């Protein structure tokens, strides 16, 4: 059985992961509507991943005898100035998510909830990978400059596939 404090912080994370999914979906539809079909695919895939993260929290809370709550989500921004700024916002958002995962680790330790502490490690590692992937994208964007996104748009999913293969140890 989860302690109430732990259940509450995990439910707060359900909201954050769900918002992340909607944020990336909003970025996907903006990029698709603005002619960046490759970047849009990256964001649609990212939105799916975040939805799976939300579901992981939901299932864990319920399996541990709590009650996962589907919250109201704030609407993500619908307009974005440019691709560079968008990925800077993605990095900032992922750093915020990393901090909130760390807060869960801290509370699990304080409350001596070693099951949750162990379970949440998957997310600790996932955040390392997510931040690294976005930093790599930002590095590439800096190399390309603001006006030269054709090749980036074409290749971004290749980068994603290469990262996934590396994570899988291929
Ligand atoms: Fe599920 Fe990107 O944090």
Ligand 1 atom at shortest distance from the alpha carbon of 101: 3
Alpha carbon of 97 to ligand 1 centroid (Å): 6
The answer to whether 95 touches 131, Cβ cutoff 8 Å, is yes
Query: Ligand 1: distance of its center to the CA of 19 in Å?
Result: 10
Decide: 17 in ligand 1 pocket, CB within 6 A.
Answer: yes
Distance 53 CA to ligand 1 centre (A): 7
Name which of 141, 162, 151 is nearest 90 in CA terms: 141
Closest CA to 140 of 156, 162, 163: 156
Q: Is 153 in the pocket of ligand 1 (CB under 6 A)?
A: no
Tell me the C-alpha distance between 153 and 160, whole Å: 12
The structural domains of the chain, ordered by start, are 4-162 (1.20.1260.10)
pLDDT at 152: 86
- Which residue has its alpha carbon closest to ligand 1 atom 2? 94
28: which residues sit within 8 A by CB, 6+ positions away? 40, 43, 44, 46, 47
Span from the CA of 50 to the centroid of ligand 1 (angstroms): 5
Atom of ligand 1 nearest to the CA of 94: 2
Q: What is the chain's pLDDT, residue by residue, as a tens digit (170 residues)?
A: 899 999 999 999 999 999 999 999 999 999 999 999 999 999 999 999 999 999 999 999 999 999 999 999 999 999 999 999 999 999 999 999 999 999 999 999 999 999 999 999 999 999 999 999 999 999 999 988 777 788 888 888 887 887 777 777 76
Where does residue 77 rank: exposed (0-12), middle (13-18), buried (19+ CB within 10 A)?
A: exposed
List the alpha helices (DSSP H) in 34-144. Answer: 37-63, 83-110, 114-119, 121-144
pLDDT value of position 170: 63
Tell which atom from ligand 1 comes closest to the C-alpha of 54.
1
Q: Is the CB of 93 under 6 A from ligand 1?
A: no
**Which atom of ligand 1 approaches the CA of 130 most closely?**
2
| Reported pTM | 0.93
**Confidence at residue 164, expressed as pLDDT on a 0 to 100 scale:** 78
Backbone angles phi, psi at 135, to 5 degrees: -65, -35
């Amino acid at each position: 059985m989860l302690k109430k404090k732990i259940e509450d912080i995990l439910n707060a994370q359900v909201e954050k992961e769900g918002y992340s999914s909607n944020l990336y979906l909003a970025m996907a539809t903006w990029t698709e509507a603005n002619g960046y079909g490759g970047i849009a695919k990256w964001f649609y895939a990212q939105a799916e991943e975040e939805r799976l993260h939300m579901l992981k929290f939901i299932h864990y809370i319920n399996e541990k005898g709590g009650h996962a709550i589907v919250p109201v989500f704030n609407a993500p921004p619908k307009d974005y100035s440019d691709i560079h700024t968008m990925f800077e916002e993605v990095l900032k958002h992922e750093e915020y998510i990393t901090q909130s995962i760390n807060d869960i680790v801290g509370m699990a330790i304080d409350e001596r909830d070693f099951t949750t502490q162990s379970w949440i490690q998957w997310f600790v590692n996932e955040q390392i990978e997510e931040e690294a992937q976005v930093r790599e994208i930002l590095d590439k964007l800096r190399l390309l400059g603001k006006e030269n996104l054709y090749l980036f748009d074409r290749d971004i999913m290749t980068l994603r596939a290469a990262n996934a293969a590396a994570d899988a140890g291929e």
